[in-house]
Chains A and B, each alone.
Chain A
Amino acid sequence: MDRRTFLKASAMAAATTAAARLANAQSSGQPAALPVPTRRAGGDSITWDKAPCRFCGTGCHLQVGVENGRVVAVAGDPLAEVNKGLACVKGYHVGSILYGRDRLTTPMLRKNGKLTPISWDEAINTIANRIKDDPKGFALYGSGQWTIPEGYAAQKFMKGGLANNHIDPNARLCMSSAVTGFMSTYGVDEPAGTFTDLDQCDVLIMWGNNPAEMHPVLFSRVVDRRARGEKITLIDIGTRRTRTTDHCQHYMEFNPNSDLAIALGIMHLLIKNNTYDKEFVEKYCNFRANSTPPTLNGKSITFDEYKKSLEEYTPERVEEISGVSANDIRLLGDLFGNKDLRITSLWCMGMNQHTRGTAINNLVHGVHLLSGKFGKPGSAPTSLTGQPSACGTVREVGTLSHGLPGGLVVNNEAHRKTTEEIWNLPAGRIHPTPGYHTVEMWEKFSTPQNQGGDINTLWVQVTNPGQTLPNLNKLFYPSRKIDGKFLIVSDVYLTATAKHADLVLPSAMWVEKNGMYGNSERRTQQWFKRVDPPGQARDDCWQTIAVARRLFELGVEGMKDKDGNFIFSIKDAQGREVPVWRWQNYYDVNVDRHLFEEYRKFTGFKHKNLAPYDEYVKARGLRWPVVEQKDGSWRETQFRFAEFDDPFVEKGAGIQFYHSVTDDNRALIWFHPWEPAPEVPDAEYPFWLCTGRVLEHWHSGTMTMRVPELRNAMPQAYIEVHPEDAHVLGIANGEEVIVESRRGQIKLPVWINGRGKPPRGSMFVPFFDERLLINEVTLEAYDPWSKQPDYKKCAVRIRKVATTRTTAPKTKEG
C-alpha cells in the first residue's frame, strides 16, 4: 500500500466516523429524514459561483461552492467591493440554512385543525378561488427579502392585475422612516453616499446603531482602517453599551427618544458658532418646519425663523433632555463645524423604529446639509437597511401600499398612466387610493368582517409577521379565531407565522432559485440558481405567476392586458409563449431576466437607471444610476447629486438636488421640535424596554437558529438588565423573570453584564427567538408619516419567576 492509497483509505475511514458522529448528533436519536452525504475530501468537482449573501442589507458577495448538487463551502468574494473578500459568521455559514431537516417540502392545507399535505394544484386552486370570490378582501404581505423579480411580479399582480393596492412589505417595520426622511429632504428616496464613504471618513457617527454586530463587514471596513494606522474617530450615540461602543473613542448615552434634541443641539451650535457651511446652505438648501395640519411637505420657513426655533436647544438644555453632557454636545458641534473633517453618519433601526422616525431622519440629514458634510467622499448621511433587498425590492420596485415601480406612486394620475402603458393595461386599471399599510392591514385582518375588518384572505411571502409584528396579541392572533379569515404563508420552514396558517406553501430559497437583490448603497446584484430546492418546494415568483394564470383561466379580466394576453406572458427567443406557470417549464427561460427587463423601463423616471440584466451577471453588483457610456459600457454612480460623479447633475452646478421638493434643485433642512415618547416609564411600568438583534441571528431567526454554529453561539433570547436594577429586584444572572407591559408578558432568562449593557432603568431583549416572543410586549404606536412602529421603546415592569432554577450554569472548559 503506497502512501497516497493509505491516505485515501484513512481519509475515508475518518470521514465515515465523522459522518456517523455528525448524523447521530444532528438527528438527536431520530431516524434520519433525508439522506446525508458523507463529509469527505473533495474540491476537484466543486463549482464556485457568486451570490450575494442571503442575510442583511450590506450585500456582501460570496463565492458558493457546490458539489454533487449541494452547497458544501462558502468563501468571501475577493472581487466584491462591498466586502473585499471578507464575510461575517452568518455569511460564512449561510450554506447551512438550506439544510435544516424540517424544511417545508409539500403544500399543506388546514383540515380539521391540522395542516395536511395537498397537491400544488389544489393549493393554487384554493388561493385563486378565494381571490376570485373576494378580490377586494385580498391582501399580499411581502418583504425586503423578496428578490427584485419576485417583488415586481407581486406588485404587477396586485396593482396591475387585481387593481388592488393592499400590498405592503415587512420593510414597513424596518426602513419606511428612512424613506419618508429621504423623500421629505431630497424629494427622492435612497442615500446619496455609498459604502465608499466608510473608507474615506475621518469621523464616523453611529446614531443608535450597533454595526459591530448588525453590519459587521461594514464596521470592519472602518475599524480595520484604524488597525492599519489611519486616524479615525468613532462616536457611538446610543441608549446602551454594545460591541460597537468598545471600538469607539466616544460613547454618548442618551435617554430614549431624545436623539432629536442631540441633533437640534448640533444645529444650534453650528449657527451660534457661525461654523455652518454658508455657501452650501445658501446655494443648495431651503428650510422647513411642521405645518398645521401637519403634512410630509411641511411649510416653508426662512433661515431666521429656523435659527429662532433652534435657540432653546443650548448644550445645557440638550443635556437636560438627553442626558448627554453639554461638553459632548459641544464636541459634536465642533466636529461638524470643522471644515477639514469628513464625517459620515450611519443609522438603522434605532432612528427608523421611532414614533418620530421621519423627524429624526430629517434632522440628521439637516445636520449634514447645514455643515456641508455632504456630496464629498467621506461625508454623507447614510441609512443602512436590515434586509438584503429592502432597497432593491421595496423602495425601488415600490412594493408599498402607495407605490409603483421606479419611485412612482398610485395617487398620481400621470404615474398611473405611465405604469398602465408599460404594463399594456387598459387605462384606469390601477386604483388611485393607496392600500392598507402593514399595521392597518393586520388590524383589518384581525377584525371581524361585520366590524369593518375587510381583509379576509392574506398571503404572506418571505417573511414572518407572526413573530415580527408589534403587539401580536392585537395584530396577529385574533384573526386565527375569526371565521372567514384565511391566512396563506409561503416559506421555507414552519415559522411562528406558518404554524398558524390555513395554507402553507413550501418555497425555494437563496441559491435554490435565480434572484436579484438591492443593498443599502443602491447596489443591484444578481445570482443564478445553483442547487435544487428540496421536495416540492418552488420559487415564490412561480407561485405568484401560477395563481395569476389560474385566475386568467377562470376568466378574471384583470389577468389580461389590453390585448387579452396574460399579464405575465413570457416569450422565448423564437417568439413562442413559454408556459412558465407550469413548474416543469418555469426554468425553460430565465423569468428573472424577462421581469427585470420590463421593470427596467420604469427606472429612468426618477433617475434610478438600471443596466440590462446581463451587465449584472458579469458584475458584483452595480450602484444606480447606471448609465450607458459612449463606448457602450455601463457606468455606476457612487456619489449622487454631486457633479463630479452623478451624470444627471448639470455642468457647473456643483451639487444639484434634481428631485427637489421645492423644484429649485435645493434640499430641505427641517426643524422638528423634541417631544417626549408616547409611552414613558411610570410608577406602574418603571423600565424602558428596547428590542433588537444580535450578531449571530438574523431577523426572526428562522434561518440562523437552524445553523449549528450560530445556534450554539447564541441559543436563545434573554433580557439584559443593569446590575444595580437586578440587585434591587433581587435577580441573579440566569434567573427567569416575567417581562410585562400593558399589552402582554413573556418569561425570559436574565443576562447581566453580557453582550450589551443597558443603563439603569433600561432593558433590552433580542427578537430572534420564536419561543420567546418579545413582540407580545412591544408597542404598536407608529410614526405618522412612515407608519413604522416603534419597537425601541415602551414601558415594562419585570418580576422574578417564583420557582428558582436549580440547574448549575455550564462550566466553560477550555
Chain B
Amino acid sequence: MLKNNRSLHIFLAIVIGLAAIGYIVGTRDHTYDQLALAGYTQPQPAPDASDDEQNDQAIRTAPSYREIMNKPLGAYNSSRNDLQRLSAPGSDLFAEVERTPELYEAALADRAQNRAYAGAPPTIPHAIRETGAAECIACHGTGMTIDGKLATPISHEYMTNCTQCHVVSGGSMPIPELYAEDFPLDNAFVGLERFSLPSPAYDGAPPPIPHPTRMRTECTSCHGLTARPGLRTTHPWRSQCVQCHAPSATLDLRPDSDLNPFWQ
C-alpha cells in the first residue's frame, strides 16, 4: 500500500514536470505568423538600435519569456528598461537653478506643443495601451525623466479616467489613416497661448501666479525639480507656494471676480 502510494507520487511528479516543460516549450514555440494572426502588428525594423545588441537583427521578433529578463521591451527606445538613464526626482534640492528669459520662452513653447490653448488638457505624446490609469500613474504619479524626456507629475488631484481628457496625439491605432485626402484636417482655431504676466507689486516682490490655478493643485508638476528648466523654481525646498505667490480670482473665474455679470 505504502509502496503503491509512493509510485503514484513519482508518477504524478513526472506528469506535472512534463506538463510544465510542455507549457514553457509551448510559449516559446509561437512563430511570428501565429502571433501576427493573434493580433500583433507586423515586424518592423528597430527604430533606433545603435546601442544595444538588437543591432544585429534587422527584424525584431517577439522575445521569449527567458529573453524578457535580459532584453528591453517595447516599441520605442525611451521606454526601455535602462536604469542609467532614469533620473530620480528630488536628487538635488539645493542645486542652483538657472532661469533665463530664453529658457522660459523655450519651456512655454515646448508646453504649447501639445496644448490647444493655455489651460487645455495636454495630449499624450507617446503610445499608450488602450486602458487603465495604473500605467499612467507609474510614470506620471511622481514624475521622472526618461531618456531626456520629461514625464510630468499630474498637476491635479488623482482621477482615474485619464483618457477622458488626455488623448494620444497620433492615436493608438496601429493603422495609418487610409483616406486622409478625402477629408483634409484643416482647422483655423487659434488658442490663447498664455496669459499675460502680471506685474509684481514692487521690484523683488514674489510674483503673482500668472495662470489659472483651478485643477492645478500640484505646483511641482510644472515648477518642481523635474520641471522644464525655464519654469523650475529656484527654491524647491519651500513647499507652500501660495504663501507668497497669490492666485488670481479673475483668472480662476471665481464667483467673486467681476468678469461676468452672471456670477453675482
What residues make up the interface of A, taking CB atoms closer than 8 Å to B?
A: 3-4, 6-7, 10-11, 14-15, 18-19, 22, 26-28, 30, 32, 34, 36-44, 46-50, 63, 65, 67, 70-79, 85-89, 92-93, 95-96, 98-102, 212, 216-217, 219-220, 223-224, 226-227, 243, 246-247, 617-618, 695-696, 705-716, 718, 723-724, 726-727, 730-734, 736, 749, 751-755, 770-772, 807-814
Number of interface residues of B (CB under 8 A): 86
B23 touches A (CB below 8 Å): no
User: Given A101, A709, A730, A812, which contacts B167 in the complex, CB threshold below 8 Å?
Assistant: A709
User: Given B47, B131, B170, B195, which contacts A43 in the complex, CB threshold below 8 Å?
Assistant: B195
User: Given B76, B119, B159, B186, which contacts A811 in the complex, CB threshold below 8 Å?
Assistant: B76
Residues of A within 8 A of B39 (CB): 723, 726, 732-733, 752-753
With A38-B190, A48-B259, A809-B174 already in contact, the answer to whether A89 and B166 are too (CB < 8 A) is: yes
Task: Show 28 residue pairs from A and B whose CB-CB distance is below 8 angstroms, ordered by the A residue.
Answer: A7-B101, A7-B104, A18-B109, A26-B185, A26-B187, A38-B190, A39-B112, A39-B193, A42-B194, A42-B196, A43-B194, A47-B259, A48-B260, A73-B191, A89-B163, A101-B188, A217-B164, A706-B185, A715-B173, A723-B38, A723-B39, A726-B38, A732-B40, A751-B173, A754-B174, A812-B126, A814-B76, A814-B125
Q: A718–B175 contact, CB under 8 A?
A: yes
Residues of B within 8 A of A74 (CB): 117, 119-120
- A718 to B149 alpha-carbon distance, docked (Å): 32
- A100 to B78 alpha-carbon distance, docked (Å): 35
Residues of A within 8 A of B197 (CB): 4, 7, 41
Question: Which positions 160-203 of chain B face chain A at CB distance < 8 Å?
Answer: 160-161, 163-180, 182-197, 199
Residue of A nearest to B128 (CB): A812
Q: Shortest beta-carbon distance, A23 to chain B, in Å?
A: 9
What residues make up the interface of B, taking CB atoms closer than 8 Å to A?
A: 34, 36-42, 44, 47, 75-79, 101-102, 104-105, 108-109, 112, 116-121, 123, 125-127, 130-132, 146-147, 149, 158-161, 163-180, 182-197, 199, 212, 214-215, 251, 253, 255, 259-260, 262
- A813 to B178 alpha-carbon distance, docked (Å): 21
Q: B188–A34 contact, CB under 8 A?
A: yes
User: Given B123, B146, B164, which contacts A709 in the complex, CB threshold below 8 Å?
Assistant: B123
A interface SS class = mixed
With A96-B116, A733-B39 already in contact, the answer to whether A216 and B170 are too (CB < 8 A) is: no
Q: A814–B215 contact, CB under 8 A?
A: no
- A72 to B44 alpha-carbon distance, docked (Å): 41
Q: A809–B186 contact, CB under 8 A?
A: no
B interface SS class = loop
Residues of B within 8 A of A28 (CB): 184, 186
Q: Shortest beta-carbon distance, A622 to chain B, in Å?
A: 14
Q: B174–A708 contact, CB under 8 A?
A: no
Q: A75–B212 contact, CB under 8 A?
A: yes
Residue of A nearest to B106 (CB): A14
Q: A709–B169 contact, CB under 8 A?
A: yes
- A63 to B215 alpha-carbon distance, docked (Å): 14
Question: Given contacts A95-B189, A227-B158, could you give 19 more A-B pairs where the C-beta distance is less than 8 Å?
Answer: A11-B105, A39-B190, A39-B192, A43-B118, A73-B118, A75-B214, A87-B165, A92-B120, A219-B164, A220-B160, A709-B169, A713-B168, A724-B38, A732-B42, A770-B183, A771-B183, A809-B42, A809-B175, A813-B76
Residue of B nearest to A734 (CB): B175
Residues of A within 8 A of B179 (CB): 716, 771-772
User: Given A4, A42, A808, A813, which contacts B192 in the complex, CB threshold below 8 Å?
Assistant: A42
Residues of A within 8 A of B260 (CB): 47-50
Residue of A nearest to B252 (CB): A78
Residue of B nearest to A226 (CB): B160
Q: B41–A733 contact, CB under 8 A?
A: yes
Q: B191–A48 contact, CB under 8 A?
A: no
Q: A50–B262 contact, CB under 8 A?
A: yes
Residues of A within 8 A of B192 (CB): 39-40, 42-43, 46, 65, 67, 72-73
- A108 to B4 alpha-carbon distance, docked (Å): 93
Q: B183–A705 contact, CB under 8 A?
A: yes
With A89-B121, A617-B262, A716-B178 already in contact, the answer to whether A814 and B77 are too (CB < 8 A) is: yes
Q: Shortest beta-carbon distance, A531 to chain B, in Å?
A: 12
Q: A26–B41 contact, CB under 8 A?
A: no
- A3 to B197 alpha-carbon distance, docked (Å): 12
Residues of B within 8 A of A98 (CB): 189
Q: Shortest beta-carbon distance, A101 to chain B, in Å?
A: 4
Q: A79–B76 contact, CB under 8 A?
A: no
